[in-house]
Amino acid sequence: MKKLLIFVFLLSFVRSYGQTPQINLIPQPVLLKQNEGSYQLTNETTVGFNNPLCGNVAAMLAGKLNTSTGFAIQSMQGKPGSIEFDLNKVAVEKLGKEGYTLVSTSKGVTITANDPAGLFYGMQTLLQLLPKEIESRSTVNMSWVVPAVEITDYPRFGWRGIMLDVSRNFFTKEEVKKYIDEISRYKFNTLHWHLTDDNGWRIEIKSLPKLTEVGAWRVPRYGQFGQRAEPKQGEAATVGGFYTQADIKEVIKYAAERNVTIVPEVDVPGHSMAAIAAYPEISCTKDPNTKVNPGSNFSEWYGNGKFKMLTDNTLNPSDDKVYDFLDKVFTEVAALFPNQYIHVGGDECYKGFWEKDPGCQALMKKMNMKQPEELQAYFMKRVEGILKAKGKKLIGWDEILEGGIAPEATVMSWRGIKGGIEAAKLGHYVVMTPTTFAYIDYQQGEQTIEPLLYAGLRMSKCYSYEPIPEGVDAKYILGGQGNLWTEQISSFTHAEYMTWPRGWALSEVFWSPKESKNWDNFVQKVEKNFDRADIEGINHAVAIYDAIIAVNKKDGKSIITLSSEVPGLDIYYTVDGSMPSTYSQKYVNSFELPEGPVTLRVVTYRSGKTIGHLITLRPEDLKKR
């Protein structure tokens, strides 16, 4: 019996400590087979490659490994390395341009692909296979082990994007490059760069110097965006910034090395107050007192997309000089950005000033237009002609469908999925980016804790998204995109906080097969990536640990239902004003809130330790729900 107990103990030890480690890859590969064994990096490890086109990714990996391991790993062409990057001599069709295979054994790691882009993504997967300390910016003395795996991987969609708004708040060139590093790690391949809006013009246009001399700067203001004081007469505009054309070229090159295409956006004909502040003559009102908006309220919103602008922020579609202006802008933009698309906005364009303008009314009569939306369609078709002459394609928000879409335009569907469905059925390509799933500037957790905003979007909602609507030919859906508008985001660390972990959810939506989705598994992977982000110094939210509180009325009583995004958390609450803990009431089922001015406090625990934020809902908060 004693010998049997010793044997059982040893068997248990082997199973517990000798088992194959769990692999946590985001996004989930198409095929993943985990084998017995592992490869260990040492100072003798080398990085080899079979083609000069592989040199960039090989050098990038060696540099990354050396930073955290303290080794002196070299990359070299021709001689097989312990870690080998190889371009296929005969393309493997299913891998496409961005797919790869990764095989690791006790002898080393081999990554193959048809194109350097695939090798880059294979490298990102390899880094995630290594211990989290690989993200350290200083040497860590530890065992660097890669589990033995066989991976075949390729993306579901060709457009996997994140939009970064730098107009509302300016981010430096170095911060943009850091953001590119972060999104490329999770296999996003498109940065939609929102460069112009009412609050700042961020790109140097040499033929129109006032765009940055005037349009890039606003008066200093603090507080909630939309509630700030308007500029005062004679007040100095000192807040802002812009990218020189040299900066733009540097960022484009940096992005290209990481397989990220940058799509610039110049938002017209609405959202143009910064441009109008610089050149008032391009608007209908031609008001010389127009200022770059510092976050003050200049509109009234009535719901259902209806609104009124109190200040003219719209270009004049009836003035030929406006198209001369845009030709100068797009000539320089097209020369800078090598990709095929230029985003021209087209969203939230107020038509009220057009309806009062004699020139616009004369154009409508001449063109037999019945609705002002047709003026925007006319404008967009002329802009498309300008872009086409420069070898570029027009892409815009789904409002460009109104009044008749430009013949070859691509649509970004943001007001839900309706615009995307309509565009696809008309034979136009679509990028799906609806507010309901992809607006990562929205609150991501409990609304009384998260920074104030008018809508919420939890990570689980992002993860549940299916970009191809029913009844739509999938060939017209290029892919999807998360959007980070920055009205309420004044620092880069806050931008990171809003992007992650919801960006991880979207990366899996856009890359991985939809059949591989598994929420419980994904949450485990997210938690592992929290650790990696902490080591590298990337800010992120942990709102997924917070309780979700729903209040419903039944027979005049308030019924409280508590839940959480992360499975298996314990939820404790109080209704007597005390602070909740493991000694408080543990949530099991929905319960009736006592009558009276009750304050509800809720907190989540895991394994006896607090993991979520304390949430306090006072009587007025509960009443709102």
Work out whether the CA dihedral 582, 584, 589, 590 comes out positive or negative.
negative
Backbone angles phi, psi at 47, to 5 degrees: -115, 115
Active site annotation includes 348: yes
Measured CA to CA, the distance from residue 309 to residue 299 in angstroms comes to 4
Measured CA to CA, the distance from residue 567 to residue 554 in angstroms comes to 27
Task: Supply 231's token pair.
Answer: 């500029």
Amino acid at 282: I
Active site annotation includes 197: yes
Residues in the chain, how many? 625
Q: For residue 291, give every residue at least 6 positions away whose Cβ sits within 8 Å of its Cβ, in sequence order, or none.
A: 218, 219, 230, 231, 237, 273, 277
Among the listed residues 30, 184, 32, 48, the one whose alpha carbon sits nearest the alpha carbon of residue 112:
48
> 30 and 146 in contact (C-beta within 8 Å)?
no
Among the listed residues 414, 404, 349, 352, the one whose alpha carbon sits nearest the alpha carbon of residue 381:
404
Pairing verdict, β 159-165 and 190-194 = parallel
Active site annotation includes 192: no
Task: Indicate which residue of 153, 348, 357, 374 is catalytic.
Answer: 348
Task: Supply 188's token pair.
Answer: 């996003």
> 68 and 134 in contact (C-beta within 8 Å)?
yes
Task: Indicate which residue of 135, 197, 374, 496 is catalytic.
Answer: 197
Measured CA to CA, the distance from residue 65 to residue 87 in angstroms comes to 21
Task: Supply 187's token pair.
Answer: 């296999």
Q: Rounded to a whole number, what is the distance in angstroms from the first to the last CA of the chain? A: 63
Strands, DSSP E only, in 437-486?
A: 477-484
Task: Supply 25's token pair.
Answer: 């890859």
Work out whether the CA dihedral 37, 38, 42, 47 comes out positive or negative.
positive
Task: Indicate which residue of 194, 271, 343, 613 is catalytic.
Answer: 271
> 179 and 208 in contact (C-beta within 8 Å)?
no
> 119 and 108 in contact (C-beta within 8 Å)?
no
Q: For residue 513, give every residue at least 6 positions away whose Cβ sits within 8 Å of its Cβ, in sequence order, or none.
A: 28, 30, 156
Amino acid at 108: G
Measured CA to CA, the distance from residue 244 to residue 413 in angstroms comes to 31
Measured CA to CA, the distance from residue 479 to residue 476 in angstroms comes to 9
Which contacts (CB < 8 Å, 24+ apart) does range 397-402 have? Answer: 397/345, 397/346, 397/347, 398/347, 398/422, 398/423, 399/346, 399/347, 399/348, 399/349, 400/344, 400/346, 400/376, 402/373, 402/376, 402/377
Q: Which residues are catalytic?
A: 197, 271, 348
